[in-house]
């Protein structure tokens, strides 16, 4: 491996590159939603709505249209994700004290961002509606207070609800997972392809020593990467790290054991580097999406939720998020620790055994 | 029928590449099976609609009013009451351990306040670690609290003899969801998956293409032949283009048969545009392959340049508009970004090619640029 300095540089740069990309791209915060308005009322009251949209951090006023056909065209082309239609009698209804309609069209393609964006818009309009109502009542001489429920939310661990704080601990695990697994598998298969593996077998090197020699560098690289990522996460992205760093690294080492094991297993079933890459892809993609990285596991169909118990990454995610954001320790995380250790030992042993068998 | 020379040479290269792949049936099987497998997995597994969010309640009031309020949440399909808390100390461990998403605490004078016509407060302690679920939970909660307040105010006003119009809201908001009225996440996921997974695989496959020849030494033979670099590039990508195309059609069929997701718009237009997209994506892999010195580096760089941007920055998983401007600009250079808009548009909106013309143009430009760059890199390594 030392013969390939480009590779070594890659081993350090790649995770940084990945982390930065992930950190900034992986955001589920809804922002800059383009909205077009079809304002047929053209009253002072309807213009206030346009102002509110312009000022809101969630929306961008993408333009005004004349009629419904134009409105639909903007949505079709994706130039707007939402559209408001304010009818002719809007101001009149308000002045008469009747409910004034506003039609809100939402592009439902991306159901998640549509739901969130619709929620924000509803909030914006309801807020305006409440202010209008108060004015109406004042003019009518009615004083309405009355009972209502107010919720006082207090958010633990991630008060500004930055999705970055949610994603980056997950990315930490993902990068370690992917890197150690991909490279262990690849390097072994490469030797097999080039034929140098057989050469090694003739030497007095024992299979166990060969195994350790092949996987140790990548384990070390994995831990180094982990260190770099933690530093970046904490000081560049500002992700809080409340828990014990030592515990984090200890568990990262255990998790690396699992990925090494998987990498070894991949190398034994692959004859070419291409196959190894595809096999890795085959294992990484389902693990990522079913482990709770993007979407909570509890919301998946029962059978898939059960399958996720078999994915080591799932437990490591709970560990990283727990240590980063919640500052919890062994007392809370011990079930995950036990499971991870069990997986680590089992997978590494399986990988080692099949590696040895393959050599014979 | 006799083909012009350059076509024959290109096909010769294609045949050689195909022969190489035939010797590796397992890779082929994976490339065909994997997209379908992932489509099945995500189609059934991913549920972006959050429901049955677990919560716990500590009711320090225990009156009819507080029970009434809690009931509204219990009856809602969005929430699931996991625990009724007796001891305040439980709250910590419930949230820390992730057993509930939030804890509702109703103060002792909740009922009294409401009965007297005053606003009453409830405390909501949210687990903010999963920010997406937390934001959505807050949204749902806000809606339910609003509904409850509305009902209370109406009853109170009626008892006071106030006219109904006094309690009606000033604005009547009529939401209308277009294109995906039931907000089924599958409708959104299937076209996205087809776009991304299929070409990711193809790009990864091509990354080994040229490097392999260089490592095994057959490169010189290729260089000495009368085949021009452009023909080599096109010829090498032909088998993979064919595989990717088959993949796309297969996924479209599976998406339709199993999930009932079918394009509302013109399928032929979609297939036509997907050819351009495939060519563009494959050439990224080929470009990497002709620049890289070793296979290991090639696969790594290909992974970084195709898989990562393809999944993250293209708009597949996260909305491009929410990203920093720098990334939005980078996104425009990725073929997947444009194709995602097109395939989702054709699937969900039934829009025609007129609407997508600028995006298709972008794809063509990117494809041509990549082919030229690859050919140039290839020519350079020949010397």
Among A77, A109, A116, whose Cβ lies nearest the Cβ of B139?
A: A116
Among A104, A149, A156, whose Cβ lies nearest the Cβ of B174?
A: A104
Exposure of A307 by Cβ count < 10 A (0-12 exposed, 13-18 middle, 19+ buried)?
Answer: middle
Residue A232's pLDDT is 87
Residue B1 has pLDDT above 60, yes or no: no
Q: Is residue A226 part of a domain?
A: yes
Residue A159 has pLDDT above 90, yes or no: no
CB contact under 8 A, A149 and B185: no
Among A125, A136, A326, whose Cβ lies nearest the Cβ of B96?
A: A326
What is the distance between the alpha carbons of residues B329 and A340, in angstroms, rounded to a whole number? 40
The reply to whether A274 and A343 lie within a common domain is yes
Contact partners, residue B6, CB within 8 Å, separation at least 6: B228, B231
Residue B47's pLDDT is 63
CB pairs under 8 A between A and B: 357
CATH class of segment(s) B53-167 = alpha beta
The reply to whether A108 and A191 lie within a common domain is no
Mean pLDDT of A301-314: 83
Nearest by Cα to B200 from B296, B276, B290, B280:
B280
Contact criterion met (CB below 8 Å) for B108 and B62: no
Q: Is residue A279 part of a domain?
A: yes
The reply to whether A106 and A185 lie within a common domain is no
Residue A8 has pLDDT above 60, yes or no: yes
Q: Which of B23, B129, B294 to mutate to test the interface with A (most CBs of A within 10 A)?
A: B129
The reply to whether A21 and A44 lie within a common domain is no
Contacts from B139-145 at CB under 8 Å and sequence distance 24+?
Answer: B139/A115, B139/A116, B139/A119, B140/B53, B140/B76, B140/B78, B140/B79, B141/A151, B141/A153, B141/B73, B141/B102, B142/A119, B142/A123, B142/A151, B143/A119, B143/A122, B144/B72, B144/B73, B144/B76, B144/B78, B145/A149, B145/A150, B145/A151
Q: Is residue A323 part of a domain?
A: yes
Using 50, 70 and 90 to split pLDDT, how confident is the model at B67?
very high
Contact criterion met (CB below 8 Å) for B199 and B278: yes
Using 50, 70 and 90 to split pLDDT, how confident is the model at A59?
very high
Helix (H) or strand (E) holding A258: helix A245-269
**CB burial readout B96-134, b (16+ within 10 A) else e:** bbbebbbbbbbbebbbebbeeeeebebebbbbbbbbbbb
Flag the least confident range among A312-321, B14-23, B120-129. B14-23
Tell me if ipTM is over 0.85: no
Q: Is residue A288 part of a domain?
A: yes
Mean pLDDT of B33-48: 75
Tokens found for residue B46: 């991913």
Q: Which of B173, B205, B298, B362 to mutate to test the interface with A (most CBs of A within 10 A)?
A: B173
Mean pLDDT of B76-88: 89
Q: Is residue A38 part of a domain?
A: yes
CB contact under 8 A, B129 and A129: no
Helix (H) or strand (E) holding B59: strand B53-59
Interface of A with B in 321-340 (CB under 8 A): 321-322, 325-326, 328, 332
How many distinct structural domains can be found in chain A? 2
Q: Which residues pair with A101 in a beta bridge?
A: B172
Domain range for A250 is: 13-25+162-359
pLDDT digits (tens, 9 = 90+) for A82-128: 999 999 999 998 888 788 999 999 998 887 788 888 888 888 888 88
Contact criterion met (CB below 8 Å) for A59 and A13: no
pLDDT digits (tens, 9 = 90+) for B263-292: 888 888 899 999 999 888 888 888 887 777
- φ/ψ region of A195 (left if φ > 0, alpha if ψ in -120 to 50, else beta) reads left
Helix (H) or strand (E) holding A253: helix A245-269
The reply to whether A133 and A198 lie within a common domain is no
Q: Is residue A6 part of a domain?
A: no
The reply to whether A90 and A73 lie within a common domain is yes
CATH number at residue A132: 3.40.1710.10
The reply to whether A327 and A214 lie within a common domain is yes
Q: Is residue A87 part of a domain?
A: yes
pLDDT digits (tens, 9 = 90+) for B165-200: 667 777 888 888 888 887 777 888 888 888 887 777
The reply to whether A89 and A216 lie within a common domain is no
Mean pLDDT of B297-307: 71
Q: Cβ–Cβ contacts within 10 Å for residue A291, how many?
A: 23
The reply to whether A184 and A232 lie within a common domain is yes
Residue for token pair 């199993």: B258
Q: Is residue A1 part of a domain?
A: no
Contact partners, residue A4, CB within 8 Å, separation at least 6: B294, B296, B297
Domain(s) labelled CATH 3.40.1710.10 in chain B stretch across 53-167
The reply to whether A190 and A290 lie within a common domain is yes
Residue of A nearest to B47 (CA): A300
Tokens found for residue A304: 């898939």
Average model confidence (pLDDT) across chain B: 82
The reply to whether A131 and A171 lie within a common domain is no
The reply to whether A80 and A177 lie within a common domain is no
Residue for token pair 């060969």: A210
Report CA torsion sign: A196, A202, A208, A212: negative
Q: 3-state DSSP call for residue A354? A: helix
Among A78, A107, A140, residue at a domain's last position? A140
List Cα–Cα distances, A24 to A140, A203, A240, A268, A281, in angstroms.
Answer: 51, 49, 16, 37, 23
Residue A7's pLDDT is 66
Touching check for A24 and chain B: CB below 8 Å? Answer: yes
Residues of chain A contacting B49 with CB distance shorter than 8 Å: 111, 115, 299
């Amino acid at each position: 491996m030392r013969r390939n300095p480009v590779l070594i540089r890659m081993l350090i740069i790649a995770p940084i590159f990945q982390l930065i990309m992930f950190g900034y791209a992986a955001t589920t915060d809804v922002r800059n939603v383009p909205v077009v308005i079809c304002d047929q009322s053209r009253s002072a009251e309807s213009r206030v709505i346009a102002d509110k949209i312009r000022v809101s951090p969630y929306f961008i006023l993408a333009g005004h249209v004349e009629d419904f056909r134009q409105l639909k065209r903007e949505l079709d082309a994706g130039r707007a994700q939402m559209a408001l239609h304010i009818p002719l009698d809007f101001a009149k209804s308000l002045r008469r004290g009747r409910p004034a309609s506003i039609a809100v069209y939402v592009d439902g393609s991306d159901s998640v961002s549509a739901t969130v964006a619709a929620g924000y818009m509803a909030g914006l309009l309801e807020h305006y509606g409440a202010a209008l109502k108060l004015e109406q009542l004042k003019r009518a001489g009615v004083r309405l207070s009355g009972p209502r429920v107010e919720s006082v939310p207090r958010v633990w661990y991630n008060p500004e609800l930055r999705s970055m704080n949610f994603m980056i601990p997950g990315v930490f695990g993902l990068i370690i997972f992917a890197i150690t697994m991909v490279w262990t598998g690849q390097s072994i298969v490469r030797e097999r392809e080039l034929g140098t593996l057989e050469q090694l077998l003739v030497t007095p090197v024992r299979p166990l020593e060969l195994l350790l020699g092949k996987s140790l560098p990548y384990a070390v690289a994995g831990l180094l990467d982990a260190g770099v990522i933690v530093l970046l996460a904490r000081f560049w992205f500002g992700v809080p790290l409340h828990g014990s760093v030592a515990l984090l690294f200890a568990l990262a080492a255990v998790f690396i054991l699992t990925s090494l094991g998987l990498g070894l297993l991949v190398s034994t079933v692959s004859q070419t580097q291409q196959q190894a890459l595809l096999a890795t892809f085959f294992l990484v993609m389902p693990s990522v999406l079913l482990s709770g990285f993007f979407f909570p596991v509890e919301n998946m169909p029962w059978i898939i939720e059960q399958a996720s118990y078999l994915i080591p990454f799932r437990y490591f995610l709970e560990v990283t998020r727990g240590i980063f954001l919640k500052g919890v320790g062994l007392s809370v995380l011990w079930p995950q620790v036990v499971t991870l250790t069990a997986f680590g030992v089992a997978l590494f042993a399986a990988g080692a055994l099949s590696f040895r068998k393959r050599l014979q | 029928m006799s083909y012009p020379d350059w076509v024959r040479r290109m096909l010769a290269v294609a045949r050689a590449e195909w022969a190489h792949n035939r010797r590796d049936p397992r890779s082929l099987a994976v490339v065909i099976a994997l997209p379908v497998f992932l489509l099945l997995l995500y189609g059934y597994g991913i549920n972006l609609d959050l429901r049955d969010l677990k919560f716990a309640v500590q009711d320090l009031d225990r009156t009819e009013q507080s029970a009434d309020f809690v009931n509204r949440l219990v009856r809602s399909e969005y929430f699931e009451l996991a625990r009724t808390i007796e001891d305040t100390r439980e709250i910590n461990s419930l949230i820390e351990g992730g057993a509930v998403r939030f804890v509702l605490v109703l103060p002792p004078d909740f009922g009294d306040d409401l009965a007297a016509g005053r606003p009453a407060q409830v405390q909501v302690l949210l687990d903010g670690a999963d920010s997406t679920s937390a934001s959505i939970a807050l949204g749902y909660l806000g809606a339910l609290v609003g509904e409850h307040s509305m009902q209370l105010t109406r009853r109170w006003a009626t008892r006071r003899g106030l006219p109904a119009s006094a309690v009606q809201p000033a604005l009547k908001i009529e939401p209308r969801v277009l294109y995906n009225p039931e907000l089924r996440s599958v409708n959104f996921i299937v076209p996205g998956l087809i776009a991304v997974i299929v070409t990711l695989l193809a790009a990864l496959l091509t990354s080994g293409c040229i490097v392999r020849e260089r490592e095994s030494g057959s490169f010189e033979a290729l260089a000495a032949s009368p085949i021009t670099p452009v023909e080599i590039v096109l010829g090498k990508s032909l088998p993979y283009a064919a595989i990717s195309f088959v993949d796309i059609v297969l996924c479209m069929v599976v998406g339709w048969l199993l999930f009932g997701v079918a394009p509302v718009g013109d399928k032929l237009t979609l297939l036509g545009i997907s050819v351009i997209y495939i060519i563009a994506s494959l050439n990224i892999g080929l470009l990497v392959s002709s620049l890289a010195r070793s296979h290991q580096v090639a696969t790594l760089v290909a992974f970084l340049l195709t898989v990562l941007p393809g999944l993250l920055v293209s708009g597949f998983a996260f909305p491009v508009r929410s990203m920093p401007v720098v990334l939005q600009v980078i996104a425009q250079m990725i073929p997947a970004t444009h194709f995602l808009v097109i395939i989702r548009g054709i699937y969900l909106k039934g829009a025609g090619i007129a609407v997508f013309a600028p995006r298709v143009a972008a794809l063509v430009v990117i494809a041509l640029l990549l082919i030229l760059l690859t050919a140039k890199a290839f020519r350079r390594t020949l010397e």
